[in-house]
Structure 1
């Protein structure tokens, strides 16, 4: 099975490279003789075998009625080839938009299909690769939109791959199909993960309503020396003035505003992004203004759907251009 699957994958890559030379990737593609392929399916091969057996039977017994049936079946087969091809020829497929999703969820890709066939196009099946399939009937000169779901695994840009469009109409013995390489991508946000709330250092000393914690860089005062205090924190100046032995205390002052601060967390990159995503959604639900501070990017505190989308987009795109070669 492994050899067979490897051979099939290699053949498919070669076939897709050949397709891209004939039909380059685009946001909108029309189906015609350059990108449509047609061949009998399993039912079609059984139909041909049955036709051959009837022809042998009619020839052996020299029965004109049986031979007439055989010729009728061959005629229907040839007619089916033309009608199946005509059913897909003239269809135009356009990528409209993709709905962002969180990692692990399914993203929706919206496509618009229309046909120039004056009789319309019936029983048209479309799907992304091995994804869910949708069957449509297109009316002439009437665009129709369809949404296809594609599961996501990680943040960044989800590219669904090639779109399969096919039909077995009208007799079900001929398969006409095409693989379309549409320029489509959906933005995938980090999956929200609950972590400790990020804190943002105040920009200038104490702030009204802010919080503080020991162990920072700002001097806060003196206290009497206690055994075990670090020697570097001893107030030697006061000791030299015979005022006693004191220890210097330091604090860190945090901003009263809510900030999604990258530097305040110590988790791995993906967990940090998931945690910042979680708190962004939390602050938005609670209607608490929040800002975002990432290496090389700062968004001022705000609220609203536009601000939330900007924050989630920044988290989804973080380091992608440098690490994976993505371009927005």
Structure 2
């Protein structure tokens, strides 16, 4: 996307309005007193402000927006928006990415160079958020005017549940078809070395044979066979917990299983994912946790009301 001249908006800043008032006062006073030096100063400052207007507008004209991304985060972590820019044939100074009252740090770029703007927004709870309106603006060079362009986007911020450490199921050894907690398992080779195969995007990095890669023979994955097993993380296995705590425990289990290279599955009310160990499988499971709506919305609302009443009652007792 290239910033076109007709899509750039410009308005005076509070400092620019204050300077306009000063220029008006000095103009009236100079005309009233017939002071040529005062008129010269007034017109000189007015010409500076006029040049500042064109310079601020030119600072955005022709800038190229290469990409805009919003990586997924976990609950209570800030949402980070990355905006990749290319300066083009002009030097750019004091660029900012804005969303309502949130503003990123300023970035300047030389001619024919790239730059990245990062805007952090708060995200308290899990879910999928539609990002608010974003704009690219600048106040250079004198701060008397600010120009901006609106950034059309359809980005959504994905916030996963916050991982909550706790006891998680462990795959059992050879010859066991189920775990002690009742979770189904299936064999997944992870112990005896059987050979190599070509790397496929999404394969665990821990299984890459770096010795072969260092010899410029390409990336290969080590194949194992043996009694190691996979697990299925079940929503209903976490008793006496509310919805968010269950999802946090499941999120922790997904991250742990993925880091260990285990195949894992996910079972939610009305949805089940078969065990796998790829990166795409991990992202799919985390997406299901982020977008989970609950078993019964009426029951969840009733539970939230009871919790709120209990907190209010406790607060009253503490005040007494």
TM-score range, shorter chain: 0.5 to 0.7
Rg comparison, structure with higher value: 1
Partner residue of 2:290 out of 310, 316, 319:
316
Structure 1: 5+ residue stretches without partners:
1-27, 201-206, 214-252, 324-328
Match of 2:44 in 1: 72
For residues 280 and 109 of structure 1, the distance between their equivalents in structure 2, rounded to whole angstroms, comes to 25
SS of match in other structure, 1:270: helix
1:131 offset after TM fit, Å? Answer: 2.8
Partner residue of 2:14 out of 13, 19, 42:
42
SS of match in other structure, 2:79: strand
Match of 2:65 in 1: 93
1:306 offset after TM fit, Å? Answer: 4.1
CA contact (8 A) 1:37 1:178 kept: yes
Shift of the 81–198 alpha-carbon distance from structure 1 to 2, 3 Å rule, reads: same
Shift of the 70–210 alpha-carbon distance from structure 1 to 2, 3 Å rule, reads: closer
Shift of the 169–262 alpha-carbon distance from structure 1 to 2, 3 Å rule, reads: same
Shift of the 131–65 alpha-carbon distance from structure 1 to 2, 3 Å rule, reads: closer
Match of 1:180 in 2: 151
For residues 109 and 115 of structure 1, the distance between their equivalents in structure 2, rounded to whole angstroms, comes to 19
Alignment TM-score, normalising by the size of structure 2: 0.66
| Residue 188 of structure 2 corresponds to residue 208 of structure 1 | no
CA RMSD, 1 decimal: 3.1
For residues 46 and 141 of structure 1, the distance between their equivalents in structure 2, rounded to whole angstroms, comes to 36
Match of 1:110 in 2: 82
1:150 offset after TM fit, Å? Answer: 2.5
**1:55-96 Cα distance to aligned partner (Å, 9 max, x none):** 223222212222122122222222222221111122233433
Equivalent pairs, count = 248
Alignment TM-score, normalising by the size of structure 1: 0.65
Partner residue of 1:255 out of 184, 195, 218:
184
Structure 2: 5+ residue stretches without partners:
186-229, 298-320
